[in-house]
Amino acid sequence: MIVGIDLGTTNSLVAYFTEEGPKIIPNRLGKNITPSVVSVDEEGNVYVGETARERMSLYPDSVAMTFKRSMGTDRDYVLSGKKFKAEELSAMVLRALKEDAESYLGEEVTEAVISVPAYFDDKRRKATKRAGELAGLKVERMISEPTAAAVAYGLYDKTKDTRFLVFDLGGGTFDVSILELYHNILEVRAVAGDNYLGGEDFTQVMEKLFLQKAKLQLQNLSEKEQVRLRRNAEKAKCTISEKEKVTISLLCKEETKEAEITYKEYADACEDLLMKIREPVKKSLADAGLKLGDIDEILLIGGATRLGVVRDFLIHLFRKFPDTTLNPDETVALGAAIQAAMKERREEVKEVILTDVCSFTLGTEVVVEYEEGKFEDGRFCPIIERNTVIPASHTERLYTVRDNQEKVRVRVLQGESRFAKNNLYLGEMEIKVPKAPKGQESIDVTYTYDINSLLEVEVKVVSTGVTQKMIIKGQDNQMTDEEIAKRMEELAYLKIQPRDYEENRLVLLRAERMYEESLGERRQKLDRYITAFEAALKRGEHDEIRELREELNDFLEEEDEY
């Protein structure tokens, strides 16, 4: 079974294809969305999703979130004294999704199509694939989130030629893609974006407004108080568009601080973020050679597109109402499931040819002559430029720059800077050339880039015909089967929690968190509910546990207000 997975910054989902179309698979709590949050306690117990998020309020040093922003980097996350890379934390989320899918489908899940932001570079894409491998999944194909969204909107059986602008604002990343459907070909024309812009940034704006109005300094708050503030700011951000104003309260040093924030105040404070959204939109249109008037439909995906400030800005920017017929949180996962069905060659799916583009320019480092006899090294020579439709193969001829030069080094780079040092290094190779006066020997460098983000580099000495090839998978971007097995063994001390007890753990953690935030009679009531529920857990009577859990949940729903 091949499933489709949306591995998001804030939330993740898994879906599969049925005779009726793609369908989201509920997690162990019966919900479609699993928060991309991981917690590891002192005993090595792993918590994923809502349970991990609840632990944030009680044990903030044991929880990691928004780690997708660090995919492909060397950053370490320390949870309860243990170090993890972003791809290892992502693997824990993927493993939880895999288990949920297997439990729901009643069969083993061995392979997945995983979505990635269109603007993810080679290093981040390979880190995502490595996360899948660590989770025990075969990941032969990744699909860009806007392409998945376009497929999910039913484009795979549309007949009318259409141009789409897909606006994807998730929890931590932002993509704009221009796609064109003609006949049965869905072509990505251009992509642009920002890997460090998303809904989390809009939450931070709400936090700052509260701190200003409550006359508080973030650094003076305890770690637990900061977590509470973030949670309350997130709630306020999501509800303010439905109201003219919201009130945020925070229990701080045994005193409740409150601040009222109006929609206009929040919208004004978000102005800088909204301006950052405008630039990738302009860039993608320019790269595609189109104007806004050439776009037939605008599709919104990503949970942050629900925000009123974002919707109002987009209507003003695009001068038309976007298509919001599908749930923006679920669209990418549904598209990934359709892609999985295409990979399985399911009869229910009309085959569509999906083309993609290079998100970043691929090139090499060269020496340039800027004046007669004066040379400057470290410059970047583009070979396959960004937004080139892939698969693609381009050749550039390069010449020797020194007399009697014996070899040429080809450094493979990805990026947009004129200077090689500012671009991402992917690998290198050297080839020998015959001795000759400078400029008389040359090599042809051919880059061939395919839809699976694999780059073949071929270097041919023009005078001799000697050819050398290599497949670039990116420095530190590929683990062998042995390395994966070794790392999985190293992580074996981690204990994934049984699915059956997830609801009980979640309600207890939520109750403990609210107990810490409460005072007086409210705290005493909570204590009575928690004590009764813990006693039922010890007795092990399933009906009694379910009844008391529901009572405690109802009480928490009534009391969990800010």
Which positions are annotated as active-site residues? 6, 68, 145, 168
Q: What is residue 112's three-state secondary structure?
A: strand
**Cα–Cα distance for residue pair 284/293, rounded to 1 Å:** 14
Burial 130-156 (b: 16+ CB within 10 A, else e): bbbbbbbbebebbbbbbbbbbbbbebb
Residue in the structure block whose two tokens are 């857990």: 537
Do residues 66 and 200 lie in contact, with contact meaning Cβ atoms separated by under 8 Å?
A: yes
| Cα separation values, 192 from 168, 448, 529, Å | 11, 22, 51
The crossing angle, in degrees rounded to 10, of helices 542-559 and 502-517 is 40
Do residues 296 and 162 lie in contact, with contact meaning Cβ atoms separated by under 8 Å?
A: yes
The crossing angle, in degrees rounded to 10, of helices 122-134 and 86-105 is 50
Nearest C-alpha neighbor of 259 from the set 212, 299, 296: 212
Copy the structure tokens of residue 346: 């399911």
**Cα–Cα distance for residue pair 78/65, rounded to 1 Å:** 12
Number of Cβ within 10 Å of residue 419's Cβ equals 12
Kindly list the strands in the beta sheet with 392-399, ordered across the sheet, starting from the edge strand earlier in the chain.
392-399, 442-449, 455-461, 467-472
Largest CA distance in the chain: 90
For 346-410, the DSSP string reads: -TTSPP-EEEEE-SS-EEEEEEEEEETTEEEEEEEEEEE-TT-EESEEEEEEEE--STT--EEEE
Looking at this protein, which amino acid is placed at residue 208? K
- Angle value at C-alpha 185, between 179 and 189, nearest 5 degrees: 25
Beta strands 162-169 and 297-301: pairing type? parallel
What is the enclosing helix (H) or strand (E) of 189?
strand 185-194
* Category of 81 on φ-ψ map: left (φ > 0), alpha (ψ -120 to 50) or beta: left
**Cα–Cα distance for residue pair 303/295, rounded to 1 Å:** 23
Which residues partner with 448 through β-bridges?
393, 456
